[in-house]
Chain A
C-alpha cells in the first residue's frame, strides 16, 4: 500500500472536494505492465526555489534519479502469445487478458454465470494467478448471491468452490473466496445449516493453512452482526477481530439499525445517501436564502431542474422553445441567467459570516448539480424528446415532425428492439451452449445457432451492462454528434469504423461511470453515516468499508478496457438496430409523373466510398434530416458527456483520476499506445506527477462565465441564417449543380464537371459542419448562461494541456474565446486599464507596435469602440474588421464599461487578457542554444519595441531578392517588392516543426497565389526560389536553434534504430523497437508513440472494420520518431513552462488560463503574471536542458546497441566480416541480429564475472566490439562524402514529352501545320472551353520562358545553396555498437536571465 498521494498539496483550498478525492487514491494495478525499472541516482541538481516566497519547492530537475524506465515491455506480448497458443481453443476469439477479464466482468455483472463458468477455464489459462483470483472471486460473489436467492442456501457455491480447486490448480482459494461464501451463509434463512457451512468452510480454510481472522478482515463483506456471529460461532477471540467489529463499549446500535445494514452494504448505504440527498434538499434552501437571496429560488436546488433547463429539457412552466434562439431572452430568464453572478457581486456587502455561508451553500448546491449533470444528462435528453413528442401530439401537429419528435420515435422503437435483442442474448448466454441438438447428418449438428447468434454470444454480455433505454439514447446522441463534427475525413457522413468504435467506447464509458457511481454511493453513504450515526460501531465499520472499497477498487475490480473488436461489435449492433428503426418522412418529385410524392425512409444509410481504389464504409444521414438539423437548434442533441463543469474539477490524483467526478477521465490523451500508458501509469504510481497535477488543477480551477452580451449578438446573427464572419450561410435545398455535359463530351470535360460538383458538395458539407459547430457552441453557451463553469484539463503525450469539454472552451477559435470570460472580476487599477487597452489592440491585430502605441491605438479608436459596444450590429461594426472579431467585441464591451464606470480603475473586469509568446518555439530554441541573435529576434532580449521575426525574415529575404535581381536573376526580378511578411510567415513558423523544402514551397506558393501579384506561370519558380531563400535566412538567423534541432534529430535517429541489450525476438534487420522517451523537467515521461500500424479486419454487423490491436507492440516508425522529436521536445518544454507558470499563478492567487503559448489572466494581474512567467522560463532554462537530455538518454538507453556503418575497407571491418563467417559455420545457420547481440552480452557477462577464469574466457572471446576495441569509432564510421552535382536526375524523366513543348506544339510540328492558330477553335463550346483555353495559354507561356530559365538557373549560384552538392552515400559494414550520442552543440553566450526585463517576450 502506498501512502496517500496528493496529501502534500499546497494551500489551494479544496474543502470537501479534496477530502473525497483522497479516497480515490491511485494505485497501479498489479496487472499493469510490471515496473521493473532501474533507479540510478546521479547527483541532484540543486534547483533554487521558484517564484515567490509562498511557493513551495518544485523540483524541475529532469535527471534527479527518478526516471521511469520500463524495460520489460516487449517481453510480455511474446509470453502472452505463447499462452494464447497454448490455449488452442476454437473459441480463440478470446485473445488477451483484457478481453477475457472484461468478458468475465461483463458476464458476472450481467448475471450470466453459466456462461461465465464456461469462460473461466480460459481466464485461468490466460490470466496471471493474481488476476485470476480476482476474477474468480468476482464470479463467486455473484454465484453465491444467486445461490442464496434461488436455493436459500450456499451449498451449490460450496460445491463449486471445492471443484474449483481441482479445476484451477495452482490457484488456491484465498481468504476472500471463503469470506464471500461465509458472509453469504450468514444470510441463509436456515441458521443451523448456515452455521454448519460456516464452520465447515472455516475448517477447510484452516486446513489450508489460513487464519480465521483473515476471513473477517474482509470487512466490506460482513455486517457487524454477521461478523459477530461468525466470530462467536468459531470462537474467535475478540482481539483477533478487526477493530471494526470489536465491541468497545460504545456500541449502541439497536438491532433495527443492524438489521437495516444487513443485505448488501451498498444497498443500505445507498438508502442512506438518499436520506442525505433528501436532507440536503430540505435543508439547503432556507440556509441559502436566509440572507434574502430570494432570487436564487427560480433555480431550484434540485440540480435536475437546472440540468433540464440547461439542456433544454422539460421545464414544466415553460412553453416549448421556438425553433430559433430567443435573441433577447425575456427579463425573467435574464435575471435567472445572471442570478449567480449578481449575487456574487453583491456578496461583499454582507457580513463575512453570511458570505461564508452563502459560499458553502453555493458549492454544495453546485456539487449536487454536478452530480446530476454527470449522471442524469442522458435522461434529460430523453425527457426533452418525449416532451416535444407529446406536445406535438397534443396539438395535433404531427404532419411536420421536428427533430425531437423523431428522436423520441427512434428512441422508443430502438429500446423495444433492444429489449428483444437482449432477450435473445439472455437465451443464448444461458442455454446457447451445452445443449446438444440432434441431427441426422454426420458431423456437428446443424445447430440453431446462426453466425449472428455466435456474435451475440461474444458481445451480448457487454450489451447487457447498460440499460437499453440508455443504450438507445447514447447511440442516437453519439451518431448525431459524430455527424455534425465531421465524419472523420469523409465529406459526407461518418466513417463506419469511427462510428462503431466511438459508440462502443461511449457505452463502455457509461458502464464505467455507472460502476463508479455505485462505488461512490458508498462514499456518499459514508458521509451520511457520519452525520447520522455518530456513535454506532457500524459507522466505524462503514468507514473501513469505504476505505477498503475505494482503495481496493483499483485493485480488485480491475476493470479492463474493452477490446476494440468488442467495442466495434457493440457499436455496430447498436447502429444496425438504430438504422433499422430510425425512419423519417421524405418527399421528392417523381421523375416520371412530376408529382410531389412522399414516403417513409430510413434516416441512416450505410454505403461505401472508394478512396484511391480502396473501399471505405460510410454512414450517411438522410439529407432531409440533415436539413432539419441545420434549421433547428441543437437543443436535445447535446451530448451530455464531457460538458463544462459546475464545480471545480476533481483534482488530479492518478492516471485516470481527476476532472469529472462520476466518470473516469484519462490524464493523458494517449494514442492507443501501450507503451505510453505504461509509462504514465508508472509515473503516477511513483508520484512523479504532483506538479503536473497541480498545474492542471490550477487551469481547471479557473472559473468562467459566458459573456452574455457576446452571446446575444451571436445568437442574433445566427438566427438570420446569413453568413457572418466565420459563420457560413445556411443552405437549404438541393445544390445547384452545373449542367451535366452532353453524353459525348470529352472525358476531360466530364472529369472537370465532376470535380466542380464534388467541390460544391464539399463546400456545402463544410459550411453545414461549421454551422453545426456554431450551433453546438451556442447551445452549450446557452445552457450555461449565468453559470459559473470550469474546464477540466488533461494533457497530450507531450504535456501540453487541453480543456476536456469539446466544442466550447477557451482553446477554441475566436468565437469561443469571445464567448468566455472569467467568473471572478478584479478591479482594473491603472495598470489593468492599460493592459485592457493593449489587449484590445492585440485582438485587433495591432500587436507589433510597442505598448504605448497600442494603448494609443485603443485611445484613438475609442469612438469606434463605444460604437461597437453600444450597437454591435446596428452601428458601424468596427469590431468585425479586427483580426479576432469576437474577442474584439468582448474587449469593446469591457473597455466601454470600464471607461464609463464612475471609477474606471475600480471597475471589476472579467475579461481575460492574453500574453502571447512571440514565436514560442523559437524562443525555447534560442534559450536552449544561448543564441544571441536568435534571442533578440524573438524578444528574449529586452528591446524598445517588439521584434517581429516574420517581418525580419521577410526583409532579409527581400534583400537577397533585390541583390539577385540586380545581378539579373529573372525570378528575383519578378519578386522584387512582393516579399511580404505574410508570404513567409507560415514557413518560418513551421520551420520549427521541421517543414521540408517541398512543404514550405507549397505554403509559399499558396501565399503568393493569394497576393495575386504574380503571374500564374511564374508561381512555381518564384515559390521554389523564395523557399530556398527563406530556409537560408532562417538557418542563418537561428543557427543555434538549427544546431540543436539537428542534434535532437540525430539522437532520435540513433535511438530509434537501436536495440535493447536483451533482444527477445528475432528482429527484422531494419525494424527496431526503441522509441524516443524523455522526461520533462516536471517529471512527465514523454513517449513518442510512432510505430508501424498493424491493423486487422474484424467483422461486425454492418461491415468488416479495420482496426489495430492496441496491445501489440510493433516496430517503431523511425522516420516519424526522428522528424517529430525536435518539435515534440520543444513542445514538452513549452508545456512545462506553461504548467510551471500555472502553478506559480495558482499559488499566487491569480486566475490562470492558457492556450499553449498564450497565457491569460485578469487585466489587473497581467504584471504579476508577466513576472511569474518570465521567472518560470528562466528557471526552466537555467540548467542546460540539452545536456540534461543527453544525460537522460545515456542513462535510459544504457546498454542499448546502435546500428552503425563502418568503413568496410578498414581492417576492423574485414575482421568482423570474417568473424561473422566463422560464427555462421559455428552455428550452422544464418547469423541473426540476435545471435550477434547474444554473443556480445555473453562476453560482457563473462568479463564482469568474479571468476577469473571466466573473465579470461571473456577477454579471449571475439565479437565485433572486441575487434573494434579501443579504435575510435568516429574514425571508423562512414563519412558522408560530398560531391558536386548528383548524377541522379540526369538519366531520369525522359518519358516526358521532349523538352517542355506542349502537345499542341508537337502535333503541329509533326503534322507540319503552320503556327497560325486555326479559327475553328470554338467548336467545343462547353464549360470545358475556359479550362482548356487557360491550360493552353499557360503552356504556351511556359514555353516562352523556358530558355530564360535554363540560363538563369545555371549561372546564379548565389542562391542555390548546396542545391548541387549532393551527399553521396556509400554503404559500409553494419555493426552493432553501444549507443552513444553526439556531443551537444556549444551553447551561445545569451544569458536567459536577461529576459526578465524583456517587455515583449510575451506580449
Chain B
C-alpha cells in the first residue's frame, strides 16, 4: 500500500487541511524499512521500550517503525483531525499497544500530562549511557520544525523535558531548511548557534534525505539545501519526492545526546545560550572583537585568560573551545546583571500587571 497516490488520501484534504498542509510526510513504507534497517535500531530497541511518535501524519513511518521494533508502548500524538482519525480508525488501527492521542506535541504541557497519566513510563537512566527505554520520533516538517529542533537540542543541554529521563535518542523528520543548520561543523558555512549547541551536546547524523535532483529544476528555493549542504547531499539513504506526501524536501536526523560531562554541572545552560547567542552575531569576526558583545570590558578582562583564542573567529571555534569560554565566563565578576535577550518584549500593561501580581 502506497500513500500519496491519488485516491489513497482524498484530494479534498488539500483544501481542508489548514496549517497541516505544510506537513510533508514520509509515505513510502519500503523506504522506511530500508532506513530502519540501516539504523539497526533493533539492536538497541527491541520490544521493551516505549515510543513517542509525534505527528504520525499519514502514519507510514509510524507503522514501519512499529512493525520493525514492536514497542511495548506506542504513543502517537496527532492534533489534526483527519490525520488523527486516519491513524486511529484507519491505516494504523491494527497496531498493538498503540494509542493515538489527539493532542499537539508542540505543547510542552502535553508531555507533562502524558507522564502524569502514565501514557509512557520510561526508566530514569544515568547520563553515561543512552536511555534505551524510550525512543522519540516525529515528523516536524512544517515551518516550525526548525524551531522545535532547536528547542529539542536546547532541552538536551538543560537535560529537561523528556531528556530528563536520560539520554533519549530522537529520530526527527525535518525539512532541509531545519536540518542543515543543525549538522554543520566548525568552519562550515552554515555553522551557527544551533550547530554549535548540537556539537556540544549531541551526536547528530543525517540518516536519509530527499534526492536533491527532484528539486533542482524548480525555480523555487524549496529543497536547495539538499544540494548545497554536503551532509544532506551525501546522506546514506536517498528517497524521491514521490516517497513523500505533500511533496517536499525531507531529512531524517538521528540525534543521540552526548553523555553528561563534568563541566556541565558548573555551567548553567542559560549562560551557554547567552555566550553562543552573542558570539554568533558576528560569526566571522575574531573573538577579540566579538567577545565584547558579552559585556562591558570583556575584551580586556578575558585577554589574559582566553587570549590564545582571540585570533579565531566564532565560526572556527570548536566545542572544546566553547567550553573553555563558558568556564571563563562563568567566573567573570563583571558579567552583565542578567543574560536575557530583551528583544520582543511588547508586553502590554495588562500582562504586566498579571505577572507582577504573580510574583
Asked whether any CB of chain B lies closer than 8 Å to the CB of A1288, the reply is no
Known: A754-B340, A1295-B79, A1320-B116. A743 touches B269 (CB 8 A): yes
Asked whether any CB of chain B lies closer than 8 Å to the CB of A1298, the reply is yes
Please tell me which stretch of A37-45, A445-453, A506-514, A744-752 contacts chain B, meaning at least 4 of its Cβ atoms lie within 8 angstroms of it: A744-752
When C-beta atoms are compared, the residue in chain A nearest to B101 turns out to be A1310
For A603, the chain B residues whose CB sits under 8 A away are: 296
A108 and B102 CA atoms in complex are apart in Å by 75
- Asked whether B295 lies within 8 Å of A747 as measured between CB atoms, the reply is no
For B151, the chain A residues whose CB sits under 8 A away are: 747
Asked whether any CB of chain A lies closer than 8 Å to the CB of B216, the reply is no
Asked whether any CB of chain A lies closer than 8 Å to the CB of B228, the reply is no
When C-beta atoms are compared, the residue in chain A nearest to B349 turns out to be A1006
Asked whether any CB of chain A lies closer than 8 Å to the CB of B297, the reply is yes
Asked whether any CB of chain B lies closer than 8 Å to the CB of A1230, the reply is no
When C-beta atoms are compared, the residue in chain A nearest to B99 turns out to be A1310
Asked whether any CB of chain B lies closer than 8 Å to the CB of A1367, the reply is no
Asked whether any CB of chain B lies closer than 8 Å to the CB of A53, the reply is no
- Asked whether A591 lies within 8 Å of B292 as measured between CB atoms, the reply is no
For A620, the chain B residues whose CB sits under 8 A away are: 296
Give the most central of A592, A748, A1296, A1307: most B CB within 10 Å.
A1307
- Asked whether A608 lies within 8 Å of B293 as measured between CB atoms, the reply is yes
- Asked whether A1297 lies within 8 Å of B102 as measured between CB atoms, the reply is yes
Asked whether any CB of chain B lies closer than 8 Å to the CB of A1389, the reply is no
- Asked whether B358 lies within 8 Å of A1330 as measured between CB atoms, the reply is yes
Instruction: Encode contact with B along A1270-1307: 1 for CB under 8 Å, 0 otherwise.
Output: 00000000000000000000011111111000011011
When C-beta atoms are compared, the residue in chain A nearest to B115 turns out to be A1323
- Asked whether B338 lies within 8 Å of A1298 as measured between CB atoms, the reply is no
Within 8 A of A (CB), among B94-123: 99-104, 107-110, 112-114, 116-119
Asked whether any CB of chain A lies closer than 8 Å to the CB of B8, the reply is no
Contact of B100 among A743, A1005, A1294, A1310 (CB under 8 A): A1310
Asked whether any CB of chain A lies closer than 8 Å to the CB of B43, the reply is no
Give the most central of A737, A746, A756: most B CB within 10 Å.
A746
Known: A608-B281, A1295-B80. A1307 touches B20 (CB 8 A): no
A38 and B270 CA atoms in complex are apart in Å by 66
- Asked whether B355 lies within 8 Å of A1306 as measured between CB atoms, the reply is no
User: A547 to nearest B CB, angstroms?
Assistant: 56
Within 8 A of B (CB), among A1076-1090: none
Asked whether any CB of chain B lies closer than 8 Å to the CB of A671, the reply is no
Instruction: Encode contact with A along B146-160: 1 for CB under 8 Å, 0 otherwise.
Output: 000001001100111
A589 and B113 CA atoms in complex are apart in Å by 42
For B292, the chain A residues whose CB sits under 8 A away are: 605-606
User: B86 to nearest A CB, angstroms?
Assistant: 13
When C-beta atoms are compared, the residue in chain A nearest to B330 turns out to be A591
- Asked whether B116 lies within 8 Å of A1318 as measured between CB atoms, the reply is yes
Contact of B79 among A622, A744, A1296 (CB under 8 A): A1296
For A588, the chain B residues whose CB sits under 8 A away are: 333-334
- Asked whether B345 lies within 8 Å of A616 as measured between CB atoms, the reply is no
- Asked whether B341 lies within 8 Å of A610 as measured between CB atoms, the reply is yes
For B154, the chain A residues whose CB sits under 8 A away are: 747
Asked whether any CB of chain B lies closer than 8 Å to the CB of A492, the reply is yes
- Asked whether A1318 lies within 8 Å of B103 as measured between CB atoms, the reply is no
When C-beta atoms are compared, the residue in chain A nearest to B107 turns out to be A1303
Asked whether any CB of chain A lies closer than 8 Å to the CB of B261, the reply is no
- Asked whether B268 lies within 8 Å of A1006 as measured between CB atoms, the reply is no
- Asked whether B343 lies within 8 Å of A756 as measured between CB atoms, the reply is no
Instruction: Encode contact with A along B258-294: 1 for CB under 8 Å, 0 otherwise.
Output: 0000000000111000000110010000000000110
For B336, the chain A residues whose CB sits under 8 A away are: 623
Known: A599-B297, A1313-B117. A616 touches B343 (CB 8 A): yes
A760 and B269 CA atoms in complex are apart in Å by 21
A1137 and B330 CA atoms in complex are apart in Å by 63
Asked whether any CB of chain B lies closer than 8 Å to the CB of A590, the reply is yes
Asked whether any CB of chain A lies closer than 8 Å to the CB of B359, the reply is yes
For B297, the chain A residues whose CB sits under 8 A away are: 586, 599-602
- Asked whether A1307 lies within 8 Å of B343 as measured between CB atoms, the reply is no
For B159, the chain A residues whose CB sits under 8 A away are: 743-744
- Asked whether A1294 lies within 8 Å of B16 as measured between CB atoms, the reply is yes
- Asked whether A746 lies within 8 Å of B358 as measured between CB atoms, the reply is no
A622 and B281 CA atoms in complex are apart in Å by 21
When C-beta atoms are compared, the residue in chain B nearest to A757 turns out to be B340
Known: A607-B278, A1292-B18, A1321-B116. A1303 touches B109 (CB 8 A): yes
For A759, the chain B residues whose CB sits under 8 A away are: 345, 347, 352, 355-356
- Asked whether A1307 lies within 8 Å of B117 as measured between CB atoms, the reply is yes
A737 and B336 CA atoms in complex are apart in Å by 14
For B348, the chain A residues whose CB sits under 8 A away are: 1006
- Asked whether B101 lies within 8 Å of A747 as measured between CB atoms, the reply is no
Contact of B15 among A612, A740, A1009, A1291 (CB under 8 A): A1291
For B16, the chain A residues whose CB sits under 8 A away are: 1291, 1294
Asked whether any CB of chain B lies closer than 8 Å to the CB of A762, the reply is yes
User: B259 to nearest A CB, angstroms?
Assistant: 16
- Asked whether B113 lies within 8 Å of A1304 as measured between CB atoms, the reply is yes
Contact of A750 among B160, B164, B331, B349 (CB under 8 A): B160
When C-beta atoms are compared, the residue in chain A nearest to B21 turns out to be A1295
Asked whether any CB of chain A lies closer than 8 Å to the CB of B82, the reply is yes
- Asked whether B342 lies within 8 Å of A1307 as measured between CB atoms, the reply is no
Asked whether any CB of chain B lies closer than 8 Å to the CB of A609, the reply is yes
Instruction: Encode contact with A along B3-16: 1 for CB under 8 Å, 0 otherwise.
Output: 00000000000011
A1247 and B268 CA atoms in complex are apart in Å by 81
- Asked whether A756 lies within 8 Å of B355 as measured between CB atoms, the reply is yes
For A737, the chain B residues whose CB sits under 8 A away are: 338
Asked whether any CB of chain B lies closer than 8 Å to the CB of A299, the reply is no
For B343, the chain A residues whose CB sits under 8 A away are: 609-612, 616
Asked whether any CB of chain B lies closer than 8 Å to the CB of A89, the reply is no
For B337, the chain A residues whose CB sits under 8 A away are: 623, 734-735
Asked whether any CB of chain B lies closer than 8 Å to the CB of A376, the reply is no
For B281, the chain A residues whose CB sits under 8 A away are: 608, 615
Give the most central of A589, A599, A615, A620: most B CB within 10 Å.
A599
Asked whether any CB of chain A lies closer than 8 Å to the CB of B38, the reply is no
- Asked whether B108 lies within 8 Å of A747 as measured between CB atoms, the reply is yes
- Asked whether B342 lies within 8 Å of A755 as measured between CB atoms, the reply is no
- Asked whether B350 lies within 8 Å of A591 as measured between CB atoms, the reply is no
Instruction: Encode contact with B along A940-951: 1 for CB under 8 Å, 0 otherwise.
Output: 000000000000
Contact of A747 among B100, B160, B301, B341 (CB under 8 A): B160
A750 and B160 CA atoms in complex are apart in Å by 10
- Asked whether B334 lies within 8 Å of A601 as measured between CB atoms, the reply is yes
For B333, the chain A residues whose CB sits under 8 A away are: 588-591, 597
Asked whether any CB of chain B lies closer than 8 Å to the CB of A763, the reply is yes
Known: A602-B296, A758-B345, A1321-B116. A1294 touches B355 (CB 8 A): no
For B81, the chain A residues whose CB sits under 8 A away are: 1294-1295, 1298
A600 and B155 CA atoms in complex are apart in Å by 38
For A323, the chain B residues whose CB sits under 8 A away are: none
For A1320, the chain B residues whose CB sits under 8 A away are: 116
- Asked whether B344 lies within 8 Å of A611 as measured between CB atoms, the reply is yes
Asked whether any CB of chain B lies closer than 8 Å to the CB of A1332, the reply is yes
When C-beta atoms are compared, the residue in chain A nearest to B19 turns out to be A1295
Contact of B18 among A607, A608, A1294, A1331 (CB under 8 A): A1294
For B79, the chain A residues whose CB sits under 8 A away are: 1295-1297
A-B contact pairs, 6 of them (CB 8 A): A612-B343, A747-B108, A747-B154, A761-B340, A1294-B18, A1306-B101
Told that A757-B338, A1321-B116 touch, could you supply 17 new A-B pairs with CB distance under 8 A? A586-B297, A586-B334, A605-B295, A607-B278, A735-B337, A744-B159, A744-B160, A747-B160, A758-B347, A1006-B350, A1009-B350, A1294-B17, A1295-B19, A1298-B84, A1306-B102, A1311-B118, A1332-B112
Q: Tell me the A residues contacting B by CB distance below 8 Å.
A: 490-492, 586, 588-592, 597, 599-612, 615-616, 620, 622-623, 734-735, 737-738, 740, 743-748, 750, 754-763, 1005-1006, 1009, 1291-1298, 1303-1304, 1306-1308, 1310-1311, 1313, 1318, 1320-1321, 1323-1324, 1330-1332, 1335
Report, nearest first, the 9 A-B pairs whose CB atoms are least far apart: A611-B343, A601-B297, A609-B343, A588-B333, A748-B108, A491-B342, A744-B164, A744-B160, A605-B296
